[in-house]
Every structure is written in C-alpha cells, then in structure tokens.
Structure 1
Amino acid sequence: MNRNMPYAPSFHLSLLFASILMLLTLAAPLAVSALSLTESAKTALDKTAAEADTATRDKLQTGWSELVSLEHRQEQQDERIDALHYRNTNALAAVRKSIREIGQSRIAKLEQETSAKKKQYEPLFASYSAVGQQLALARQLGSKTAASLLKTQQDAMKPAVHLARLDIRAKQEALTAAKSQASKQMKQAREVLEDIDPLNTRIQAYKSAMRTPKKHLSTAWSNFTAAARKKNAAGTLAGLTATLQLSRQILEQKAQVAACEERIYAVILRAKTQIPAA
C-alpha cells in the first residue's frame, strides 16, 4: 500500500480551497468601497442626470467620475500606507537590533582576552604573594639570612610582576575604551531614531483629523443616494458635492500619513549610517 495515499485527500482539498479563494478574489467588484459605489447608485445618478439641465448633468457626471477616481486612489493609498508601515516596522526592528550589537563582538573578545590574561598570571601573582608573606614572617622571627634570601627572590620577581600587571591593565583599558566607544555610537544612533517620535505624533494627528470627514461622509452619501432615487437633481448634486469634498479631505490626510511613513524610513536609513561595519 502506498504510504502517501492518506495525505492525498488533504492535498486536493487544499487545492480546492485555494481555487475557490482565487475565484472569489477575482469576482470581487472593483468598485466596492466604503461609499458602496454600486451599479444601482450609478444607474440612479444617470437617470437623474438625464432629466436635469445640461449644466447640472455635466456636474453630476463629472462628479461621479471624480468620486470613482478618489475612491480608487484612497484604496491605493491605504495599500501604500500598509506597505510602508510594514517595511518601517521591520526596518526599525532590524536597526535597533544592530544598534544593540554595536561593538559587542570586540567587547566579548576583549573580555575573553582580559580574563585569559588574569588566569595566565595567577601562578606568578600567587608565588609573589607567598614570597612576600614568607619575608614578613622571617622578619618577625628575626631570621636575617632567610629574610635576605626571600628579599632577593622578591626583588627578582618584581619586574615580571610589574610587566604582568601592565599587560592586564592594557587589556582592561582596551576593554573600557571599547565599551565607551560602543556606548557612544549606540547613543548617537538612538538619538537619530528619536526623530521618529514627532513623525508618529503627526501620523496620529492626521488619523485623528480623518475622523471628522469620515463621520460626515456617510451622511453626505446617504443624502446623495436618497436624492438620486427620487431624481432630485439639486439634492443629488448637493450630496455628491459634499461627498467629494469630504473624500478629498480624507485622501489628503492619507497622503500626509504616507509622507510621514516615508520620512520615518529616511530616519531609519540615517540611523543605519551611524552603525559601524562589523
């Protein structure tokens, strides 16, 4: 029996669901929006325009075309904002990670070398300390011969001990300098990223500014559709004009949000220039 057989139905079901999803996506009307720019709404407008005077008819037809364009541009702007925000979120996370890693490989290496140096000289320091303790004891006991021998031994060890301390100090100073440099570079890069905060504040302000026109948009649209169904040309034009005005305001705010997202990315790129190559 083929061991792969139990998985075949699941595979075909996955293909079937994917095909259905694709068909539903392709079948979705392009004109669907928050304003429900449906064929019935367009038909009502056309009937109203047909019975209106020439000037009103032209304004209704031109206004509808602009509204369709505005809705399409808003959808494009929404997609653009989502894409920019997603890009910025990932880029910002990556640059923050890079900032945290500034100088860390060098610091880790110097810490290892400093530790190794201390361990390397432990026997020397232990011997030197032991000789010093023995010398102190010999002097207490009044043994001049032993004290003289131990003092000679201590003096002979001093240069090696001094060099060992200098060697360790050099490593420690290099480690301290590396930490200081890394800290300074991290600070500089993070200070650049602080320019993102006012841009995020602006984005929130633009989004807040959208609430008022969005709140009134549904009312204006309802007035338009109600008037169009009644073939009230003046009411239809008034509702359409108000809808256009509000839609333009919303689109402008969305454009400002997108511009801020672009500026945020520019800040992120500027911060990246503050990160030294590994």
Structure 2
Amino acid sequence: MKKHSFMSNLSNRYGARPNLCANVWTRMSLGLIIIFSISVIYYSSAAEAAGPELGVTAQKAWETVLSKADSQTKLSLQRAYENVGNWTTQEQAWEQKTKTIHAANTKELEQLRVSIRQIDDAKIAGLIEKVKQTEARYESLFALYSSVNRQLDATKAIKNKEWSAAIRTQADTLKPVVQLARQDIRFKKKELGEARKRKSAEVKRLRTLLAGADPVKKQIQTGKKQASLSKERYSNALQQFKQSTKLGQSSRVLSSLNSLSAAAEKWAGSKQHIYTLEQKVSATYAKVRQELTKRPK
C-alpha cells in the first residue's frame, strides 16, 4: 500500500511520464515543421528573385537544363544565373535612385532660377520708392522756381526795374535750395542705379555658376544613350540565353549566361554612371544655394 501511495504521489506531482515525452516530442516536431516551412519559403523566394525574368516556357527549359547537368556544371550555371539577377537588381536600384535625384535637381533648378531672378528686388523696390517720394517732396519747389523764372523773363520784357529786382531776389533765394533738391534726387537715382548694376552683376555671376552643371547634363544625355545601348545588348543576350536553353546543351547555356551576366553588369554600370553625374549636378546646385544663403538680407 505504501508503495502504491508513493507512485501515486509521484504521478500526481510530476505527471504521467509517457504523456510528458509525447508532449515534448510533439512540440519539437512542430518546431521542426515551422523551421522547415520557413526555410522552404525563404529559399523559394530567393530562387524566384535570382536570375533574369523568364516566361513560363523559358523557365521550364532552364529547369530542364539544370536537372540534366552534373553537379559541378549545375553549380556553375546557378552562380552565373544568380549573377545576372544581382546585376539586374542593381540596375533597377540605380534607375530608381537616379529618378529620385533627378526630380530633386529639377525642382531645385526651378527654385534657384527664381531666387536668382529676385535678388535684391525688395531693396531695389525700396530705392525706387525713395526716388518717387523725393521727387514728390520737391515737386512744389520746382513748380515755384519755374514760376519765378517765368515772371523774371516777363519783367525783362516790360523793363520794370523794381519788379525785376524783386523777382530776381526771389529767384536767387530759391536757386540754391533747388540745386540741393536736384542733388538729393540725383543721389537717390544714383543709389538706385548702382543697386541695379550690383544686382545685374550678381545675377550674371550666379547664373554662370548654375551653368556649370550644363556640361555634366550633356554627359548625362550621352550616358543615357549608352545605357539604352547596354539595355539593347542585354535584351539580345537574354534572347540568346533563352534559345540556348531550348537546345538543352549545358555548355552553351553557361556560355550564354556568362555573356548575359556581362551585359547586365554593363547595363547596371551605365545606370550607376548616370546617377554619379546627377550627383555632380546636385553638388553644383548646392554651391549656388550656398552663395544665395550667405548673401546679406
């Protein structure tokens, strides 16, 4: 009875041993299944991502070539195939990065042109207003001085010495005041003219800096033509690869894959070159923006 009681207590305390083993085994099995499933999904995705884009027929032909090749040749084929995929992935990445930076450069160029065109506009507008206000302030003085001079001419005609002397005295009194007024207006206009000259010189200088990107833009156009040719070569090489898979000779398929990989590398390189040139354009615009920023407000 004691022995039975001891076993019962042991069972109650730790549970049934066979059931515990079964639970552990079940959990381990589920874990292995999950890991295996994730691995299958991962490697399937990686296989789909690698290599050039193929249609259903070409993909089947490629898989047939792989299945018939020996292990060493199969490994070489897969590596070459993945190289093509890596280069085409890079080409797409450079293409997207180039589009982004080109859009930014285009927007920045528009803003820089506006900013350059508007240099010192507020200052010049203020000087124009000063000239107008100064001229308006002296308008009545000039009108009075003109009227006195007309009266002086009239007194000469009638030969009235007393009237002529009185008018002349008035004219002589107004003359230095009028001269100072005219000098004030000339000074304001000179100040305006110098501001306009400075603006013109600064606009010319900054536009010259901005035009420093023009030779690079021409290189970009040339680069785009080269990229287009590289794309055409890649397309031709891809067709040759598809044709070689139909023939089923692994050596020819490997050769065509290597040619396709070289074409893809050239294509990706041409896109990277265009991106590098766009960076140079961006750097030029940044210099112009810096020049505008450091100008006195």
TM-score, length basis structure 1: 0.83
The one-character-per-residue Cα deviations of 1:126-177 (angstroms, maximum 9, x if unpaired) are 1001111111121122111111101100111122111211211111111011
- Structure 1 residue 243 displacement after superposition: 1.1
Q: Which residue of 2 aligns with 1:187?
A: 204
Q: Which residue of 2 aligns with 1:109?
A: 126
**Percent identity for Structure 1 against Structure 2:** 26
The one-character-per-residue Cα deviations of 1:81-110 (angstroms, maximum 9, x if unpaired) are 110010001011011100000011100111
Q: Which moved more, 1:222-231 or 1:181-190?
A: 222-231
SS at match of 1:102: coil
What amino acid is the match of 1:95? L
Confirm or deny: 8 A CA contact 1:220 1:239 kept in the other structure.
yes
Instruction: Give the RMSD, CA atoms, in angstroms.
Output: 2.3
Q: Which residue of 1 aligns with 2:173?
A: 156
CA–CA separation in structure 2 for the residues paired with 1:55 and 1:237: 12
Confirm or deny: 8 A CA contact 2:52 2:85 kept in the other structure.
no
Q: How does 1:129-148 map to 2 (within 5 A)?
A: 129-148=146-165
CA–CA separation in structure 2 for the residues paired with 1:104 and 1:232: 74
Pairing partner for 1:235 from 252, 266, 291: 252
Q: How does 1:188-207 map to 2 (within 5 A)?
A: 188-207=205-224
Aligned length: 250
Q: Which runs of 5+ in 2 are unaligned?
A: 1-46
Find the structure with the greater CA-based Rg.
2
CA–CA separation in structure 1 for the residues paired with 2:251 and 2:49: 26
CA–CA separation in structure 1 for the residues paired with 2:186 and 2:68: 95
What amino acid is the match of 1:193? L
Q: How does 1:57-76 map to 2 (within 5 A)?
A: 57-76=74-93
1:119 and 2:142 are equivalent in the alignment: no
CA–CA separation in structure 2 for the residues paired with 1:168 and 1:48: 92
- CA 1:274–1:239 in 2, change beyond 3 Å: closer, same or farther? same
CA–CA separation in structure 1 for the residues paired with 2:71 and 2:89: 27
Q: Which moved more, 1:137-146 or 1:39-48?
A: 39-48
The one-character-per-residue Cα deviations of 1:193-222 (angstroms, maximum 9, x if unpaired) are 111111110001111112323223222111
1:95 and 2:112 are equivalent in the alignment: yes
SS at match of 1:195: helix
CA–CA separation in structure 1 for the residues paired with 2:187 and 2:142: 17
- Structure 1 residue 119 displacement after superposition: 1.2
Confirm or deny: 8 A CA contact 1:45 1:60 kept in the other structure.
no
Q: Which residue of 2 aligns with 1:220?
A: 237
Query: Comparing both structures, which one devotes a greater share of its residues to helix?
Result: 2
